[in-house]
A and B are shown apart, each in its own frame.
Chain A
């Protein structure tokens, strides 16, 4: 399994992919800097510190959410495009190999997303605690942050599943559209529909702890993952 993880790792970390990810991570950090109002000094904050703090965390989490979702989709596209699929031809000589190849791909993607998430969440936390007068409660912060990674993995898995059905990079637009539509219209839907949607879709909308039944969410996405593996196992390699 380790060899398959390294194979996908070698494949995925191309210069272009890394450059895009680094730029996106820089945008998160620049946005954090800007939203903190560090450029204006913090003298004017005293009377309104709490409301500024709320706005700051909302802004930071909103931008992180957009970028994380984009990274999730991009990672899935990168790991399941035609070239990566072709690697299967060189490395698969039995059904067991095919199984390991697919599992390796899913796991490596999730490991990469976790690494991005940990680095950004820690960087934002360190900056906020060290350089701004805002107070972050660690428990609340990580509770919301966990929904960010779940949202990122959710769009990663959705994109992987769509890529297996329609093998074109352009299919990445569909999860982006789903995300965008939910982002702008979730709160204008009826309460019943909102409740129904939030069973299987995580949409964090800024810094606020959501009541989501994680068990149902995890069961649904494990089911999706098993389906993805089964479809790829049954599908011809090339």
Chain B
């Protein structure tokens, strides 16, 4: 008898609710997010997309249940507050170390992403000297380090030029074939793939 082992990466969300002091962020969200498909989270401003992501990352306290196995997670937040004085390289090395990615492998991975985003020449510049778009590229690069099984990118296209957006979309679609990729975006039409699943939020609820 052959037992087939499932390689699907799954996040199961049950009755997820997050309330702030004076408002409700999201309420009673129940869904499953799976690898092999591109999970796009869409909705108007303030509809609860980012709150949903923060709950998945355990960055905020919430009611309900989020079940996931302990996989490596790559996360790029929407508000990328990075230590301004740090050179890009030092920042990426620090984050790489936390993800157990050490010098030799780090260089290989960095090369790929820095070439893709064309920010190699900014590698030793302090983060404060970068433009908004460049900071977004660094933000996404740190999320993709050490081949995470789960990739969560909050508004990754914001601030990027058209060419970089195209490259990133292509990369995201490629990654979503084997990994669990969750993207929040206002432009789901830019992700041109038949494997995309759109989760639409409105006023804190999943439609």
Contact = CB atoms under 8 A, between A and B. Distances in A.
A94 B75 CA distance: 12
B58 A90 contact: no
A40 interface: no
A83 B83 contact: yes
B83 A87 contact: yes
Given A93-B58, A98-B58, A238-B59, A83 B84 contact: yes
Nearest to A96: B70
A3 B81 contact: no
B95 interface: yes
Interface in A1-21: 3-4, 6-7, 10-11, 14-16
Given A92-B59, A93-B58, A94-B70, A7 B98 contact: yes
A93 B82 CA distance: 17
Interface in A80-99: 82-84, 86-95, 98
B194 interface: no
A236 interface: yes
Contacts of B82: 83, 86, 90
A65 to B, nearest CB: 30
A237 B94 contact: no
Contacts of A92: 57-59
A70 B152 CA distance: 41
Interface in B57-104: 57-61, 70, 73, 75, 77, 79, 81-86, 90, 93-95, 97-98, 100
Task: Name the prevailing secondary structure of the A interface residues.
Answer: helix
B76 to A, nearest CB: 9
Interface residues of B, number: 25
Interface string A43-73: 0000000000000000000000000000000
A191 interface: no
Contact of B85 (A16, A93, A238): A16
A210 B24 CA distance: 54
Task: Name the prevailing secondary structure of the B interface residues.
Answer: loop
Contacts of B14: none
A237 B54 contact: yes
A98 B59 CA distance: 9
A93 B83 contact: no
B98 A91 contact: yes
A161 to B, nearest CB: 20
A178 interface: no
B32 to A, nearest CB: 19
B142 interface: yes
A234 interface: yes
A89 B86 contact: no
B97 A6 contact: yes
Interface in B86-138: 86, 90, 93-95, 97-98, 100
B94 A6 contact: yes
A94 B77 CA distance: 15
Interface in A138-188: none
Given A236-B59, A237-B60, A3 B97 contact: yes
Interface centre among B59, B60, B79, B84, by most chain A C-beta atoms within 10 angstroms, is B59
A98 B54 CA distance: 13
Nearest to B154: A89
B75 A89 contact: yes
Contacts of B60: 236-237
Given A83-B83, A87-B83, A93-B73, A10 B58 contact: no
Interface of B: 54, 57-61, 70, 73, 75, 77, 79, 81-86, 90, 93-95, 97-98, 100, 142
Given A14-B85, A237-B57, 17 more contacts: A3-B100, A4-B98, A6-B94, A6-B97, A7-B97, A7-B98, A10-B90, A15-B85, A16-B85, A86-B81, A86-B82, A89-B77, A90-B82, A90-B95, A91-B98, A98-B58, A237-B54
13 contacts: A7-B94, A10-B86, A11-B94, A15-B85, A82-B81, A83-B83, A90-B77, A91-B98, A92-B57, A93-B75, A234-B61, A236-B59, A236-B61
